[in-house]
Structure 1
């Protein structure tokens, strides 16, 4: 048994919550994962997991051992990478999670330039409009839009996402142009449900703040879907500028209520407190801050 290999597999089983998930991740059979854990338990002289048909949980001793493994493997990983040059190399795998549309439009186009600067990094981009569990999914950093409230996460500010109200000319021809936020009460408003208080849109005009409770016959948790519905003339949407930038240039969509400001959303890089931030992770964060 290679003790460090067994410790690495043990840590991944804890983070993924199952032997089969780790077997798929490592492209090995589930019996091989079970064998490593059994060998580790024999070496330790006790069980690290309590097993049942439905639940895989750490024993009390296993919880303490897991924390020690994180520290030991983190130090070993850092020492191995820094041996050659006296400092940690910007190389190796980098797993990134981002919202689908923001990742496609704003993150993916930058990856070529980053990899030219750091050719020894291998990037795995995972796009989802739901917040991934960074530990469970083995993600190094996630891009989040909006206020980060999750406990145990560290957020580094990258940029801000300015928003405007958008509608297609075909919709405005049928329903008229809103001249002030209160006019939205007479319009079909398409809400993005992943934001807190998505049914209230906030505007400012000078020193005056205006909250509008919007209504409409459709909502969505996908900014891609909202874009398509606006393009189809279904209604108006309060959306980030990057979502409709190309459509505005092409004349397929126009912004309205431009005399009123809306609340910009923070764009952050998010890490788990429990994972050590590598040089490649921080290099990517610095690169995003530079380009975003």
Structure 2
């Protein structure tokens, strides 16, 4: 058994979800594909696929092995290209994690330009508002908004996320527009619970610093949901400019308290120290610093 060939076949079966599809892709018989996977399982000492299910599903060990195979085969491909060209190639799989709204509005639009510059990279963009474990989920680089915890990861600053207080015109017409932060206490304020102090909104004006304990009848851990509720006239939200930029331009929301500055949130790219050596990780982080 050629271990690398078996790993390649295994990865393609997982990605295509079918033994027969991989057989057609490789122009070999399906029994040959099955034989490669069985040989790999004998080598590993256990199953990679759960045979008891109707659909093709990985075992827990198979899932972990799949992620390792992706990384190993990517490194092998990079090493081969590096040997041929005399320098490390920016090629292979790149797994990126980002918050849902920020990933959709700020990261996804840049992917095309990045791939035009580095056409040999294969992007897997994973959007999740909860911080994923980079090692467990085999993430190359994650985009995080807010103050970072000291968790042993390498962090590269990308900039800051400016925030404003937004409301729909219908809400402001019904309840009035706050002129100073203290007036927020009389409004329905929607809190974003993934922030540590989501129920305290902080502002500054010159040398003056203000903190307001907000109240409201709804909170959410999804910025997408908060946007929809604000557009529906439910209340006020302290949100990043990028979340409401298009809505504000089209008059669907208005920013208030513009004479005051809300505390901005840092935006960072984080990755494990081991991934610092990856040329494609470094290239993507440098690309984000250039464009963000």
How does the TM-score come out when normalised to structure 1?
A: 0.77
| 1:4–1:120 distance in 2 versus 1, CA, 3 Å | closer
CA offset at residue 152 of structure 1? 2.7
Match of 1:133 in 2: 133
Deviation at 1:285, TM superposition (A): 1.0
**3-state secondary structure, aligned to 1:156:** strand
1:238 maps to what in 2?
238
CA distance in 1, matches of 2:16, 2:36: 10
Q: Partner residue of 1:283?
A: 283
Deviation sequence 1:124-158 (CA, Å, 0-9, x none)? 11111111122222221111111121513111111
**Are positions 1:39 and 2:7 aligned together?**
no
Taking structure 2 as the reference length, the TM-score comes to 0.77
Q: Which residue of 2 aligns with 1:49?
A: none
Alignment of 1:194 onto 2:194? yes
What SS does the corresponding residue of 1:197 show, helix, strand or coil? coil
Instruction: Write the mapping of 1:71-82 to structure 2, written as runs, cut at 5 A.
Output: 79-82=79-82
SS at match of 1:251: coil
User: What are the Cα deviations for residues 59-103 of structure 1, in whole angstroms up to 9, with x where unaligned?
Assistant: xxxxxxxxxx9xx99986653331011111111111111111111
- Deviation of 1:286 (Å): 1.0
Shift of 1:4: 6.2
Equivalences for residues 5-20 of structure 1 within 5 A: none
Separation (CA, whole Å) in 1 of partners of 2:198 and 2:122: 37
Kept in 1: contact 2:95–2:125 (CA 8 A):
yes
What are the within-5 Å matches in structure 2 for residues 99-178 of structure 1? Answer: 99-149=99-149, 151-178=151-178
Following superposition, the deviation at residue 36 of structure 1 comes to 4.0
Deviation string 1:23-58 (CA, Å, 9 cap, x unpaired) is 8469589998796466357xxxxxxxxxxxxxx89x
Given the alignment of the two structures, is residue 218 of structure 1 paired with residue 218 of structure 2, yes or no?
yes
Partners of 1:142 and 1:75 lie apart in 2 by 19
Q: Is the 8 A contact 2:275 2:281 kept in 1?
A: no
The separation in 2 between residues aligned to 1:25 and 1:277, in whole angstroms, is: 26
- CA RMSD in angstroms comes to 3.2
State the distance in 2 between where 1:7 and 1:148 align. 36
Instruction: Give the length in aligned residue pairs.
Output: 259
Q: Which residue of 2 aligns with 1:60?
A: none
2:269 alignment partner, SS class: strand
Looking at structure 1, the residues matched to 166 and 218 of structure 2 have their Cα atoms a distance apart, in angstroms, of 16
